[in-house]
Amino acid sequence: MSLGCFFSAVACASAVAIEPLSQGQSVRANIDQAQPPRWRITLNAGDLIQGKVVGDVSLRLLNAQAQPLRLLVDGADLPRDFMFVAAQDGQYLLRAEPLASRPQAEFTLTLNQVLPLSQQHPSPPPLLSPTLRHLAEQLEQGGSSQAFWKDREQQGTPLVEAVNDSPNERLVTFLWRGAQRNVRLFGAPSGGHDLLQRLAESDVWYASYRVPSSARLSYQLAPDVPEAGDRRTLLATAQRDPLNPHRFGNHNYEPSVTRSIMELPDAAPQPWSRKRVDVALGTLQRASLTSSILGNTRDVYVYRPAGWQNTGNDRGLLVLFDAHAYTRQVPTPAILDNLIADGLIPPTAALIIANPSDETRPVELPPNPEFARFMAEELMPWAEQQGLSAEAKHTVVAGSSYGGLASAWLGLKHPELFGNVLSLSGSYWWSPAGTEDQWLTRQYVTSPRLPLRFYLQAGLFEGKPGASSAGILDSNRQLRNVLQAKGYSVDHVEYASGHDYLQWRGSLACGLISLLGISSDTPKACVPIAL
């Protein structure tokens, strides 16, 4: 018996005998160079083995015939934890091997875990929904999901339930029936494209979230997303929720290009986003503008309110990016018609600027000196020729995401033209390649204070948990802090929402009221619920 033999609960390993080793067992020994100690373990194919060696020895995995398979621990290095997967059923050997520098070293070998293949699937998250817990009990007793789905057809989805210990929250469960492999939620409150879980072996797929009772978002569900490809692959099957009657977009569209709406009871109203029969309508005309600076041509949609006059010191002008969205998902002309009719803003025209292509958007909208030249030297003089101009203090440059970033950039570069920045979920995390993130915020730190006013809005569902760089929510807060420290007028609001045109159609109206408003009173619809 070796000199490293110990008494009590710890087994004593012989340098000669090949003794069995089982899960949770520890053995202590010292190295005999002539006959290194070995232990036998019996495994099934797919078993995951995890263990640890304490001491200056190496550890090698052998097959039943003592042929080397894998070096598990290099005793001259760290760490000393090891793991491997059994390739087939049968017996394996673990052999301790001496280091040349420590020929008589004592050591301890512990086999911490042998995890069968059948247990290597992650455990599903706990069922938060009382309704789903009740259904799970019925399924365990041999019942079916038929009554559950009948209720959902009548009541709609997602499933919304109270949170007993938090009256200002709701438990929202998104549901899909009958997928084969997986379901993803596009527009999740987490800010990601989350996987739904399957309830036992049933046809019920679910994902539950605790969210503020003021939450609003649009979403799609993507069943059986192909495993190949990147995160955009979910677009191959994404569609609106078939059991949710509330739709965002043209209701005549196919399910694949329509989103579903989730609005909880305390979500701020959006009273200006629908056409009213009793409101005088402005006009919207599409024009084409060619830029010699940028070498491309784009559409510009020109909105003139009813009774628009080309003169007057109090008239406003909105310059807005991403016409593909702000003439459709966000009904900008209707919003302006209603705000003007309600006496909340002065008569305000708009230039709604299209992107020449998908490829030009991420090149032009993030801070780009040539695009700033185009805006100052070509677009704004052209607009004046169309009878659309206003003093800088009555001109708002606005956009969302990259468009919000572009708006703050243009305010910095040309405050003589754009005296108001309306930014919806601006992408202030952005920076040029190879530089620290939040580049534009740093430019505001070092620049003198300019004659600018700001409306910044971001969603609580736009964070980046665990990310090494700031997301939209955090970078908007950082810009707010910098602007306030510099003495700027900043209206900063946060809603229980995501990166979402459904929210932005309300926030566009509130931003215009904040920056161009005739009254000092803030409408109730523009006061976020305290969170």
Verify that 390 and 483 share a domain, yes or no. yes
> Per the domain annotation, does 134 fall within a domain?
yes
Other C-beta atoms within 10 Å of 147: how many?
11
Residue 274 is assigned to a structural domain of this protein:
no
CATH code for the domain of 518? 3.40.50.1820
**Confidence band of 470 (pLDDT split at 50, 70, 90):** confident
Both 454 and 475 in one domain: the answer is yes
- Mean of pLDDT values over 24-49: 88
The mean predicted confidence, pLDDT, of the chain is: 91
pLDDT above 50 (res 207): yes
For range 182-207, the mean pLDDT:
94
Q: Do 258 and 290 fall within a single domain? A: no
CATH of the domain at 163: 2.60.40.10
Q: Judge whether 180 lies within some domain.
A: yes
Whichever domain contains 61, its CATH number is 2.60.120.380
How far is 518 from 522, CA to CA, in rounded Å? 10
At 348-357, the pLDDT tens digits run: 999 999 999 9
Q: What is the mean pLDDT of residues 233-252?
A: 87
- Same domain assignment for residues 113 and 142: no
> Same domain for 193 and 245?
yes
Query: What are the residue ranges of helices labelled H in 234-353?
Result: 323-326, 332-341
Q: Is residue 289 a part of any domain in this protein?
A: yes
Rounded to whole angstroms, how far apart are CA atoms 332 and 334?
Answer: 6
pLDDT at residue 139 greater than cutoff 80: yes
- For residue 110, is it within any domain? yes
End residue of a domain, out of 263, 298, 333: 263
Q: Is the peptide bond before 79 cis (omega within 30 degrees of 0)?
A: yes
- The pLDDT value given to residue 520: 82
Is the pLDDT at 121 greater than 80? The verdict is no
Q: Are residues 89 and 150 in the same domain?
A: no
pLDDT at 122: 72
Residue where one domain finishes, among candidates 119, 144, 164: 119
Q: How far apart are CA 344 and CA 512, in angstroms?
A: 9
Collect all residues with Cβ–Cβ distance below 8 Å to 315 and sequence separation of at least 6. 309, 346, 347, 348, 349, 390, 394
Query: What is the pLDDT, as a whole number, of residue 464?
Result: 62
Element containing residue 50 per DSSP (H, E):
strand 48-54
Asked if residue 125 belongs to a domain, the reply is no
Q: Judge if 449 and 520 occupy the same domain.
A: yes
pLDDT tens by residue, 423-445: 999 999 999 999 999 999 999 99
Quick one: DSSP state of residue 236? G
Classify residue 66 as exposed, middle or buried by CB count within 10 Å of its CB (0-12, 13-18, 19+).
Answer: exposed
Residues 6+ apart with CB under 8 A from 196: 174, 175, 176, 179, 182, 183, 184, 185, 205, 206, 207, 221
Phi, psi of 7 (to 5 degrees): -95, -170
Q: Are residues 386 and 484 in the same domain?
A: yes
Residue 6 lies in a domain: no
Q: How many domains, in total, are found in the chain?
A: 3
Confidence of residue 39 (pLDDT cuts 50, 70, 90): very high
Query: Do residues 317 and 396 share a domain?
Result: yes
- 271 domain residue, yes or no: no
Is the pLDDT at 282 greater than 80? The verdict is yes
Say yes or no to pLDDT of 16 above 70.
Answer: no
- What is the residue range of 355's domain? 283-526
Query: Taking Cα atoms as reference points, which of 416, 420, 394 lies closest to residue 407?
Result: 420
Does pLDDT of 283 surpass 50?
yes
Could you say which of 89, 119, 149 is where a domain stops? 119
Whether residue 212 is found in the same domain as residue 234: yes
C-alpha closest to that of 365 among 288, 420, 423, 317: 423
Q: Verify that 354 and 503 share a domain, yes or no.
A: yes
Q: What average pLDDT score do residues 307-312 get?
A: 80
Q: Do 220 and 333 sit in the same domain of this protein?
A: no
Confidence check: pLDDT of 4 > 60: no
Question: What is the predicted pLDDT for the residue at 481?
Answer: 98
Q: Which residues contact 340 (CB under 8 A, 6 or more apart)?
A: 305, 306, 346, 347, 348
